[in-house]
Amino acid sequence: MKLFGSSLILAGTALGAGMLAIPMVLAQFGFFVSAGLMFVIFIGTTYATLLLAEACTKTQQSTSMSSTAYFTLGRKGMHFTNILFYLLLACLMIAYTIGIGDLLHSMLLEVGVDLSPVVGYTIFSLVMGLVVVAGKAYIDKLNRGLFILMIAMLFVVIFSLMNNIELANLSQESGFSVNDVVQYSAVIFTSFAAIIVIPSLVSYNQDASIAQIRNMVLLGCVIPLVCYLTWLFAVIGNLGVEAVSKFENISQLIAAFDGETDLLKSVVAIFSALALITSYLGVSMALYDQNKDAISKNPLIAYALTFILPLVLATLFANQFISMLDYAGMVLVFLAIWGPLAMAVKVRKPDFPQVGREQTYTVGGGQAALVATFMFGALIFVSWFMG
C-alpha cells in the first residue's frame, strides 16, 4: 500500500494541471491527433522519470533534487538544478493556487457564498501546509483518499457523458499546422512531468526492491495517460472541438455543462478541485523537502518559503493559469529531461562511487535511448519559442 500510495502521489502530481488544461489546449487538434501527441510525450517523460529514479538509487541520502544533483553533478550542478527547481515550483504553485482559488469561488457562489478567490486560496494553502509539514505518511494517506475519490468522480462524469457522445465530434479539427502541434507540446509535457516528487518517493520507499521502485514509477506514469485520454474523449465527444477551443479558464469548462444535470455539473467541479489538490500536495511536498534540504532545517522557515511566498506571487500573477504551465514547460526540459539524463550518464561511469543501496537500478535502452531522450528534450524546448 505504501508503494501504491507513492504511485498515486506521482500520478496525482501530474493530473491536476493536465485534467484542466488539456481539453482547453488540445481540443483544436481533435481527439486522434491529441492522443498521438500525448502518447509520444508520455513515452519521453516516463523514460526520463526512470532515469532520475536510477540516479536516486545510486546516490546516498538523495531526499530532494538538490541532494541528488549534488551527489551526481557536483556543487555547480546542484546550484543550477536548484535555480531551475525553484523557477519550476514557483510556476506550478502559482498555477495551482490560482486554479484552486477560481474553483472555490465558483463552487461557493453556487451555494450563495461570495468568497473571493484570494481569500479562498489563502485559507486552503495555509491549511494544506500543515499536512505537508506533518510528514509524508500523512500526505500519502490524504492523497490516497483524495485520489480514489477523484477517480470515482471521473467515472461518474464519464459514465454520464457517454450517453451524449457524438462520434463526429472526435474527428473534428479547427484547422492547425505542425507548428501549432509543436507549440503546445510544452503545456502537455508539463501535464505529464511529475518527476519532481521522485527523490522524495524513492527516499520514502527506501526499503523497497529495485523492481518495486520501477513498477511504482511506471504505474504512476500510466495512470495520468489513461485518465487524460478518457477525459479528452468525453469532453470533446460531448461539446465539440469549436466550443472547447474557446475556453480560457476552468470555470468556463465547468459552465459548459450547464445543459446537463445540476448533479453532473457539481461532480465535474468537485473532480476538477480534487485534481488540483492532489497536484498541489505533490508539488508542495517536493518544494518543502527542497527548502529543508537546501535552505533551512527549521520547519517554520521552510513552511513560509513553501506556502506563504507562492501566495504573494499568485496574487501578482492572477488569471495566468495556462501561461504559468507554459513557462513551467520550458524550465522542466532542463530539470525533468536533460537533468536526469546528465545524472544517469554520470552514475553509469565506471569510476562513480556506488554508495547507495545494496541493489541499484539501471534503466534499459542503452546509448540509443539516452540520445532519443536528449532529442525529445530539444523538441519540447524548441516548442516553447514557437508561441
The secondary structure of 200-228 as a DSSP string is HHHHHTTTS-HHHHHHHHHHHHHHHHHHH
Q: What is the model's pLDDT at position 328?
A: 67
Cell of 297: 532545517
- Give the model's pLDDT for residue 365: 84
* Residues of the chain where predicted confidence (pLDDT) is lower than 70: 16-18, 20, 61-62, 169, 172-178, 180, 244-262, 317-330, 354-359, 384, 386-387
Spatial contact of 305 and 295, defined as CB atoms under 8 Å apart: yes
**pLDDT attached to residue 329:** 63
Number of Cβ atoms within 10 Å of the Cβ of 166: 12
- CB environment 130-156: b (16+ within 10 A), e (fewer): ebbbeebeebbebbbebbeebbebbeb
Residues 29/177, Cβ–Cβ less than 8 Å? no
pLDDT of residue 166: 73
CATH class, domain 2-384, is mainly alpha
The identity of residue 69, as a single letter, is A
Report H helices in the chain: 2-26, 30-57, 65-110, 117-134, 136-162, 167-170, 178-183, 185-192, 198-204, 210-239, 241-245, 250-255, 262-294, 299-303, 309-316, 321-332, 339-347, 366-384
Cell numbers for 226, please give them: 489513461
Q: Measured between alpha carbons, how far is 345 from 63 in angstroms, rounded to an integer? A: 20
pLDDT in tens, 278-302: 888 888 888 888 888 778 788 888 8
Residue keyed to cell 453556487: 110
The pLDDT, as a whole number, for residue 253 is: 66
Sequence letter at residue 205: N
Domain segments of the chain as ranges:
2-384
Residue 371's Cα: distance from chain center in Å? 24
Residue 387 CA to residue 325 CA, distance in Å, equals: 13
- Write down the pTM of the prediction: 0.80
What is the distance between the alpha carbons of residues 264 and 57, in angstroms, rounded to a whole number?
A: 44
pLDDT of residue 47: 93
C-alpha cell at 76: 555547480
Give the pLDDT of residue 50: 92
